[in-house]
């Protein structure tokens, strides 16, 4: 009988990781999941709680696993925690762990819009993380996701909160576009990337088939509820992002939105051969509410 595959997941309590762990568990994959916070385990899963991903605590537990999926990242920084610390330095530490434990493959979630030409702080940190992985000599797959959409994603949670107060704020014109992808497709694609040769040492955009404006997305999401959509001046939104750490949109959230990034969906469809879920249909069905 073939040896079952063992997968390590970092950032285990995040939205993508939770959905991925559930999917892998249902597919009888042995999991070792690591998080700074406690979490409920699925079947075939061991958990490691470690605030700072302490090598001594982790190294013997994950030795000779097959794949590590690195899902730790922050999209908003503060005095206490910044991009360099998490997106870059922690990635360095994880890559060293993978090498020391002889794990064969690393899979990383970067971001749509990351490139060598960027001047956005968040993208710069993700680009540096990508470079660390590419130059590591490991077998890698890097995904650059657009908005990953599901019942519990941060954007959906934000919109639900806004619906409760009966007003949704849209920064600027709302005419910039997004290319959301369903979490159900994301977990299937990550699973595929573990050992298929076409994913070896490759970077792919992780985007869905629908390209729609932010305003269209919000309107479809609230369809049927009596919600006031309020456009706020972009300057006001940036002012709030700069001066209020609890603002709805961080500075780089706004930079990414107005950046209007488009990913290569056709390439992804061709390589994965899966039938993608339409996020427009998902929104129309009300299944995210």
Tokens 């797959």 identify what position? Answer: 141
Burial of 230 (0-12, 13-18, 19+ CB in 10 A): exposed
> Closest Cα to residue 178, out of 113, 234, 83?
113
3 state DSSP class of 287: coil
Domains of the chain: 6-150+180-208+262-276 (3.40.50.720)
pLDDT at 179: 96
Q: What pLDDT tens digit does each residue of the chain (289 aa) get? A: 356 899 999 999 999 999 999 999 999 999 999 999 999 999 999 999 998 888 999 999 999 899 999 999 988 888 888 999 999 999 999 999 999 999 999 999 999 999 999 999 999 999 999 999 999 999 999 999 999 999 889 889 888 888 888 889 999 999 999 999 999 999 999 999 998 899 999 999 999 999 999 999 999 998 877 889 999 999 999 999 999 988 889 899 999 999 999 999 999 999 999 999 999 999 988 887 7
Tokens 């530490």 identify what position? Answer: 93
pLDDT at 12: 96
Question: Which residues touch 167 (CB under 8 Å, ≥6 apart)?
Answer: 227, 228, 229, 230
pLDDT at 3: 62
Q: Give the predicted TM-score (pTM) of the model.
A: 0.95
Q: How many CA atoms lie within 13 A of 275 on its CB side?
A: 0
Q: Which two tokens stand for residue 188?
A: 């299937």
Asked if 274 and 185 count as a contact pair (C-beta separation under 8 A), the reply is: yes
């Amino acid at each position: 009988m073939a040896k079952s595959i063992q997968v390590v997941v970092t950032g285990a309590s995040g939205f993508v990781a939770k959905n991925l762990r559930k999917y892998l568990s249902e597919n009888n994959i042995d999991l070792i999941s690591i998080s700074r916070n406690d979490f409920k385990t699925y079947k075939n899963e061991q958990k490691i709680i470690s605030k700072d991903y302490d090598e001594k605590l982790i190294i013997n537990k994950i030795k000779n696993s097959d794949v590590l999926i690195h899902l730790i990242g922050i999209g908003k920084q503060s005095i206490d925690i910044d991009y360099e610390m998490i997106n870059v330095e922690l990635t360095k530490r994880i890559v060293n762990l993978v090498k020391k434990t002889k794990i064969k493959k690393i899979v990383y979630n970067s971001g749509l819009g990351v490139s060598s030409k960027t001047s956005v702080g968040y993208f710069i940190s993700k680009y540096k993380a990508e470079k660390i992985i590419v130059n590591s000599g490991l077998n890698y797959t890097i995904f650059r996701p657009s908005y990953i959409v599901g019942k519990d994603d941060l954007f959906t949670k934000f919109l639900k909160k806004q619906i409760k107060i009966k007003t949704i704020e849209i920064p600027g014109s709302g005419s910039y576009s997004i290319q959301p992808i369903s979490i159900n497709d994301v977990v299937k694609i990550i699973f595929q990337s573990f050992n298929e040769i076409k994913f070896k040492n490759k970077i792919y955009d992780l985007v869905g088939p629908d390209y729609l404006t932010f305003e269209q997305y919000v309107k479809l999401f609230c369809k049927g509820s009596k919600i006031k959509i309020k456009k706020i001046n972009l300057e006001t939104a940036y002012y709030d992002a700069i001066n209020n750490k609890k603002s709805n949109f961080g500075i780089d959230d706004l930079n990414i939105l107005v950046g209007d990034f488009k990913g290569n969906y056709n390439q992804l469809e061709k390589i994965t051969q899966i039938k993608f879920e339409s996020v427009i249909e998902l929104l129309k069905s009300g299944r995210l509410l």
